[in-house]
Amino acid sequence: MLKIKSAVRRPLTVKPRAEKPPARRHPKVKPYLLRTLSKRGLTGRSVLLPSDDPDVFEEHVKAYFDEYKPQGLRERELVQSLAETRWRLNRSFALEAALFSQVSNAENAEEGPSAAANVQNLIKFEKTLKNLHLQEARLNRRFDKDLAELRALQEARIQAEGSLVEENAGFEFSTDDFERYPA
């Protein structure tokens, strides 16, 4: 026969919790959070880098709103996304140019530009270039997708507005109607 030993039970004692002092907050927490919320989207990725000029970015976004003239929330969101995506693409092109400039500067620092030196310098930056091209491809796909959705929404809206105009174009008024409702 199998005997199971019972565990020795200890009396349960509950100690009261000590009062914790309130958490101390740094005086700059609130402004930092406000700045973070104003500059970052839900994903936490900043559109503007510290080196970017916010006024130039605002002009860039305004130009997109002027061009596409969005109506409604979804159209405004898509136009904002298009402007931000194009801003990031332009920045990635500038980063790529700076990277190639760095490669050519490294070549000139050596004995002279040679094919072997060029290959060596490109190998140094291979991973960075791959990542940059992957991000460019991702941003291009996002831009194309958002643009297609915006155009579809705008076409549907224009068709709906056109059908309303056609329905209202059939009204005819007699002189009696004008006399009844003076202007």
Distance CA 75, CA 81 (A): 10
CA-to-CA separations, 129 to 35, 55, 101, 171, 180, in angstroms, rounded: 31, 29, 13, 64, 76
pLDDT digits (tens, 9 = 90+) for 79-129: 999 999 999 999 999 988 888 887 777 666 655 556 777 777 778 888 888
pLDDT surpassing 90 at residue 141: yes
Distance CA 31, CA 99 (A): 35
Q: How confident is residue 134, by pLDDT bands cut at 50, 70 and 90? A: very high
Task: Tell me what the pLDDT averaged over the chain comes to.
Answer: 76
pLDDT, residue 138, reads: 95
Q: In percent, how much of the chain has pLDDT > 70?
A: 59
Q: How confident is residue 47, by pLDDT bands cut at 50, 70 and 90? A: confident
Mean pLDDT over 4-12 rounds to 57
Q: How confident is residue 63, by pLDDT bands cut at 50, 70 and 90? A: very high
pLDDT, residue 99, reads: 83
pLDDT surpassing 50 at residue 28: no
In this structure, the chain runs to a length of 183
Q: In percent, how much of the chain has pLDDT > 90?
A: 38
pLDDT, residue 43, reads: 42
Between 46 and 152, the higher pLDDT residue: 152
pLDDT, residue 119, reads: 74
Q: How confident is residue 29, by pLDDT bands cut at 50, 70 and 90? A: very low
